[in-house]
Amino acid sequence: MPSSVLIIGAGAAGLMAARELSARGHAVTILEARNRAGGRMHTIQTPSFSLPVETGAEFVHGKLPVTLQLLQEAHISYTPVEGRMIEVQGGHWHRQEHFVEGWDTLMERLQELQQDMTVQQFLETHFSGARYEALRRSVQRFAEGYDGADISKASTLALRSEWEKEEEEQYHIPGGYEQLTDFLVAQCVRQRCQLQLNTPIKHIRWQERCVEAVAEDGRTFTADKVIITIPLGVWQQENAKSSIAITPAIDPQMEAFRQIGFSAVIKISLEFKQPFWQEYEKELGFIFSEEIFPTWWTQHPHPAPLLTGWINGPQAASFTQAGPQKMQQYALYSLAGIFGLPLVFLEQQLVAAQVTDWGADPYTLGAYSYDMLPSQEARQLLQQPVANTLYFAGEALYTGAHPGTVEAALTNGKEVANRLMQQQ
Ligand SMILES: Cc1cc2nc3c(=O)[nH]c(=O)nc-3n(C[C@H](O)[C@H](O)[C@H](O)COP(=O)(O)OP(=O)(O)OC[C@H]3O[C@@H](n4cnc5c(N)ncnc54)[C@H](O)[C@@H]3O)c2cc1C
């Protein structure tokens, strides 16, 4: 028999779960804290930028079945990511074939690994000594910069299964991820889901097959079951403005949420008058450097004069209180170092800037998940509903080869909706 379901959070996981459930006649109400759907998919379109700017998710990291199928269904175009990768060290530019220097050697050792250990332990065991200094630096930079992982905690086996897929082609969505959000919202609404924006949930009271969610302004919503899709950062900071009290308490699950790693990201988009970088490298794609903003990318092959800078992992967390003005300054210093250009030139060239600090975003409190050594076990517990009434979903609960992505959130949202329907 169809049931009534509350879904907390209108990100990729929540919208996907809502779409599945409502397609099969369940009465779904989505409760979202923000004034928009999409969560960590957030495209902004302003006249100061010549292209839509992604403040959150930007790439499709490979031939990802659920994402690509949805994009095709929605007739949303996507294009391969192109361009050269450059490493800049001590003012010298080197072309790089892979994200990690010595990738083949690294993958060989990773294949031989039987027992899990942290990435730091793995590097100390298999790549010690001066000979491997560049490889160690490059692995650390990739694990931190790409996965947001703290290498003293991150699981090597989990990163191995992800990195094996890294050589796949990646895609950009020129019109922005926002189109995917709009498509999912339109489908949910057509299937009679109620979408309540501006509804931060503060409290969930529950007993078997009966849930009451209380919003910040006192409104209450009731249903047979609830799927909670709030980000890991919100679960982990129990006293945050966005955190949700659950009565009766679910202590083992709360502890399990703490066993999964969650990164922080500061992302900056800078539009300039001219794509001055083309004088250095005509087909510039990605830059990896040792600057405060170490990672940058262009829109190549699109000629837009837009550069995106990225700080991830422990370093991003240390800048979370700096504020947008300061971060914009750090970004320009970083570019001055990379290109050997005067700061004043970059300031004169700058047309528009957008800084997004996801660690400071109250409804995310971080960026995306990574596995620590106990994460798999924790995730097994969180995949089980509590009394067939409380269900958990979101990118952090996905088990597959593309963690921390929109694909992970969409897949997990779909799986959790199906599990709920089987457990009527
Ligand atoms: C900077 C950045 C770059 C990224 N780049 C990529 C990329 O290139 N490619 C890729 O595939 N993925 C990328 N990701 C990851 C991807 O965006 C996420 O994995 C995915 O969007 C997560 O979806 P979700 O539904 O699990 O969570 P979310 O999208 O975070 O949705 C959860 C929702 O819950 C809401 N919420 C929180 N608290 C409450 C509350 N108390 N009451 C009600 N609602 C609440 C939030 O507002 C949010 O809308 C990136 C993420 C970030 C931050």
Give the pLDDT of residue 161. Answer: 85
Report DSSP state, residue 291.
Answer: S
Predicted confidence (pLDDT) at residue 320 exceeds the cutoff of 90: no
9 DSSP assignment? -
Length of the chain: 424
- pLDDT higher at 303 or 102: 303
What integer is the mean pLDDT of 177-189?
Answer: 98
194-213: average pLDDT: 98
Rounded average pLDDT over 170-181: 96
Judged against a pLDDT cut of 90, whether residue 10 lies above it is answered with: yes
pLDDT at 391 over 90: yes
- 372, 371, 382, 397: which is closest to 252 by C-alpha? 382
Confidence of residue 224 (pLDDT cuts 50, 70, 90): very high
CA of 344 to the centre of ligand 1 (A): 36
Measured from the Cα of 31, ligand 1's closest atom is 43
Q: By the 8 A CB rule, do 8 and 31 touch? A: yes
411 vs 104 pLDDT, higher one: 411
C-alpha 341/C-alpha 11 separation (Å) is: 40
Instruction: Check whether 174 has a pLDDT greater than 90.
Output: yes
How far, in Å, from the CA of 41 to the mean position of ligand 1? 6
Q: Pick the atom of ligand 1 nearest to 10's CA.
A: 49
pLDDT the model gives residue 376: 95
Domain residue spans in the chain?
4-40+177-259+373-422, 59-81+169-176+265-357, 99-163
The pLDDT of residue 90 is 84
What pLDDT sits at residue 134?
A: 84
d(C-alpha 37, C-alpha 186), whole Å: 11
228-247, pLDDT tens digit by residue? 999 999 999 988 989 999 99
Cα distances (Å, whole numbers) of residue 316 to 126, 147, 291, 359, 414 = 28, 12, 13, 8, 31
Quick check: CB of 408 below 6 Å from ligand 1?
A: yes
The pTM (predicted TM-score) of the whole model is 0.96
pLDDT value for 274 = 96
Q: CA 356 → CA 289, 308, 309, 361, distances in Å?
A: 20, 11, 11, 8
CA 143 – ligand 1 centroid, Å: 20
**Tell me, what's the pLDDT at 102?**
79
d(CA 228, CA 214): 13
| pLDDT score for 163 | 82
Q: Which CATH number fits domain 4-40+177-259+373-422: 3.40.50.12280, 3.50.50.60, 3.40.50.720, 3.30.1280.10?
A: 3.50.50.60
Nearest to 15, CA basis, from 368, 385, 393? 393
pLDDT band of residue 167 (cuts 50, 70, 90) is: low
- Whose CA is closest to atom 2 on ligand 1? 56
- The pLDDT of residue 330: 97
* Helices (runs of H) and strands (runs of E) counted in the chain: 14, 23
Q: Is the CB of 173 under 6 A from ligand 1?
A: no
Q: Say yes or no: CB of residue 106 within 6 Å of ligand 1.
A: no
What order do you get walking across the sheet with 194-196 strand by strand? 194-196, 27-31, 4-8, 225-228, 390-392
Count of CB atoms within 10 A of residue 240's CB?
14
Asked if 150 contacts 315 with a C-beta cutoff of 8 angstroms, the reply is no
Report the alpha-carbon distance of residue 395 to residue 177 in Å, rounded.
16
Q: 3 vs 416, which has greater pLDDT?
A: 416
pLDDT tens for each residue of 113-155:
999 999 999 999 999 999 998 889 888 988 888 888 999 999 9
* 130 and 371 Cβ atoms separated by less than 8 Å: no
Asked if residues 41 and 56 have their Cβ atoms less than 8 Å apart, the reply is yes
Nearest ligand 1 atom to the CA of 59 is: 8
Q: Distance (Å, rounded) from C-alpha 79 to C-alpha 131?
A: 39
pLDDT tens string 63-102: 999 999 999 999 999 999 999 999 898 888 988 777 676 7
Predicted confidence (pLDDT) at residue 382 exceeds the cutoff of 80: yes
CB of residue 78 inside a 6 A radius of ligand 1: no
Q: How far apart are the first and last CA of the chain?
A: 7
The predicted pLDDT at position 166 comes to 65
Percent of the chain with pLDDT over 70: 98
Between the CA of residue 91 and those of 131, 289, 293, 338, 339, what are the distances in Å?
22, 9, 15, 7, 8
pLDDT of residue 315: 86
**pLDDT, average across residues 279-284:** 92
Encoding tokens for residue 335?
């570019």
For residue 231, the CA-to-ligand 1 centroid distance in Å is 7
Query: Of 19, 35, 40, 371, which is best to mutate to test ligand 1, by the most ligand atoms within 8 angstroms of its C-beta?
Result: 40
- Of the two residues 394 and 3, the one the predictor is more confident about is 394
| CATH class of the domain comprising 59-81+169-176+265-357 | alpha beta
- Mean confidence (pLDDT) of the chain: 94
Give residue 59's pLDDT band: very low, low, confident or very high (50, 70, 90): very high
Distance CA 369, CA 381 (A): 17
Ligand 1 mean position, distance from CA 13 (Å): 9
22: which 2 tokens? 């409502």
